[in-house]
Each structure stands twice: as structure tokens, then as C-alpha cells.
Structure 1
Amino acid sequence: MRENVRWMTEVALLAAFLSVAGAFKLPGLLPGTEFQLSAPLAVAICAVFGFAKYITAGLLSSMAGLMLGTQTVWNVGIALIFRCVVGAIFVLGGNWWLTVVLAGPIATITSRLVVGGILGNMAIPFVLAAVPGIIYTAITVWPLTILLKRITESGKKAIMYVVQR
């Protein structure tokens, strides 16, 4: 019972964290090239918490975004493809630093190509617009992963300390 409560609490907090991070965008030099902070955070969450918590938190975040009107169906489609590709990359490559760094850019390119293919000949402009975000993601994901690991480890130590008393 305690593990279920802990699991649900962590997933809810991660979903809220993803939703808030998705609202913050760093502007790009050209229109449409802004960078969402949720991309490197999502990869870091998958690396630290595992795919089950990552995909559940991501789905909850997407549902909340749709209900609040902050995301469109296309945003959610891109995010779902991104999440599945990140999960597949972690399954194939393990939880290695190079896998963590490359998962976001590969998932971004793949999701943009899929959605661009659905819409017609728009795949290349979609990918080109994402290049600044791909670079930001590759640079920021590893420090975010280390930060999340430290936070998780310190939380576990604090719980052990409280339980022992």
C-alpha cells in the first residue's frame, strides 16, 4: 500500500513538473524555433525514474495540457511519439550518459519526421525549426539528469533517516 501511494505521488509530481516546464519556452532566433524546457526534463525523468513513471507522468501532463487548452492535439501527438522513441532508445542503449544525451535529439527528429510525414511535405521544415531545441536538449539533459539523481538520492536518505527514528 505504501509503495502504491509513493508511486502515485511521484508520478503526479513528475507530471506537474513536466507541465510547468512545458509552459516555459526559451525564444529562438526565428519564429517557431523556441525551446521547451520539458524536453530535456522528460529524458532526465526517464533516465532517473524509469519508463513506467516517465510515460505515465507524460500522459497525465498531456491530458492536463489538453484540458487546460495549453496544448493542441498536434503537440500531444509529437510528445507521445517523442516519449515512445525515448523509451525505445533507453531499452536499446541502456542508462548510459551517451544514451541520455542522444535520446532527446533522436526522439525530437523522429517525432517531427512522423508528424511532418502525416501532414505532407513539411517534415524537413519541422526538423529544421527544431534544430536549436535539439542543441539545447543535448546540452542540458545530462546536468538535469545528475540533478534529478541527487534529489532522488537525498530524498531516499531523508526517508530512511525518518523511518529509523
Structure 2
Amino acid sequence: MRQARDIALISLLAVIIAISGSFKVPSPFPGTEFQLSAPLAVAIAACFGFTRYILAGLVASLLTLLLGTHTVMNVMIAMTFRLVAGGAIALLGPRFWVVCLAGPLGSTAARVVVWLLLGKGLLPLLVASLPGMIFTALTAWPLTKILARIKNATSWRDVPYAEKTV
């Protein structure tokens, strides 16, 4: 029963990540819009743990790749974000400051990967991602609290977080 429950949870989280990744939030500066999935992904990592988050992220990446909405490069960038943001939460726990900074750290690492792959300027990539980093830092904690309340109000409340609770 536990294994089936984990499969269902990871599948649900993967769909949430994949769908929220298709929404772009506009920015006041052209070319700096960002995905809505970043703060939600951080909240998922904080509420459900690193392993479930990474597995859901892998499934979400596979779905978006198969649907043709992402390329292999998009998946590499997304997985970099997930490993860094989720890793920060896994290593330091789902504390307020960790949850707020995990998204910007993941975004920075993802921009470094783009820079390494394309060989273009790192500074313009980082500057363009600043509005998204600020948005993620400001919204990750409230989304984490909302997701924790939803989790506690459903049958998923019995699913333990691997390390500490939010």
C-alpha cells in the first residue's frame, strides 16, 4: 500500500510541476519572464522531501520532453535547478531562510549551466533572472505553508518528510 501511495503522490507532484512550468510570469523588462514552477517546486521539496521532489521532477521533465514543450537543454537546466534547490533544503532543512534562498540558488546554478553550455556572458544571464529570483524568494515560503496546510488536511498528512517538518 505504501509503495502505491508513493507512486500516486510522485505522479501528482510531477503533473503539478509540469503544468506550473508551462506558465510564464511576465516581468517589467523584456526577456526576463520566468516560470511559475520555481517557488512551487521549492515548496514541494520542503513539504515532501528531496527524494520525492527529484523523482517528481524527473517524471515532469520526461513528460515535458515527450510532449515537446521542452528540449534536452531545458531539462538539463531544470534538473540543475532541482538538484541545487532541493539539495539545499535536504542538507539544511526546510527552515524559513533556506526555503527563501533555495530557489535563487537553484536559478543561479541553472544560469551557470546555460553559460557553460552556450559560452555567452554570465552576468547578463544572471541579471535577466533577477526578477524571477526575487519572486521565488518572496513566494516560496508562503507557498510552502499553503502546501503544508493542504497536505495536513488530506490523507497525505501521514506521508512523512524525510528529515524535518515544516
Same fold (TM over 0.5): yes
How do 1:19-98 residues align onto structure 2 when only pairs under 5 Å count?
A: 19-98=18-97
Under a length normalisation based on structure 2, what TM-score does the superposition of the two structures give? 0.89
What amino acid is the match of 1:102? Answer: L
Give, in angstroms, the shift of residue 127 of structure 1.
Answer: 1.3
Q: Give structure 2 stretches of 5+ with no counterpart.
A: 159-166
Which residue is 1:15 aligned to? 14
Q: Give structure 1 stretches of 5+ with no counterpart.
A: 160-165
Which residue is 1:141 aligned to? 140
SS at match of 2:153: helix
Amino-acid identity (%): 47
String of CA shifts for 1:54-96, please: whole Å, max 9, x gaps. Answer: 0010011011111111112221111111111113212332221
Give, in angstroms, the shift of residue 158 of structure 1.
Answer: 8.5
Give, in angstroms, the shift of residue 122 of structure 1.
Answer: 2.7
Q: Does the 8 Å contact 1:114/1:123 carry over to 2? A: no
Q: Which has the larger radius of gyration?
A: 1
* Distance 1:47-1:158 versus aligned 2 partners, 3 A rule: closer
String of CA shifts for 1:104-159, please: whole Å, max 9, x gaps. Answer: 00110111012212211332222111111001101111111001100110113898
Q: Does the 8 Å contact 1:32/1:129 carry over to 2? A: yes
String of CA shifts for 1:10-52, please: whole Å, max 9, x gaps. Answer: 0000000111111111112233211211000111000000011
Distance in 1 of aligned mates of 2:68 and 2:46: 29
Distance in 1 of aligned mates of 2:14 and 2:4: 15
Distance in 1 of aligned mates of 2:58 and 2:30: 27
- Equivalent pairs counted in the alignment come to 158
Under a length normalisation based on structure 1, what TM-score does the superposition of the two structures give? 0.90
What amino acid is the match of 1:47? Answer: A
What amino acid is the match of 2:19? Answer: V
Distance in 2 of aligned mates of 1:97 and 1:44: 11
Distance in 2 of aligned mates of 1:92 and 1:3: 25
Which residue is 1:162 aligned to? none
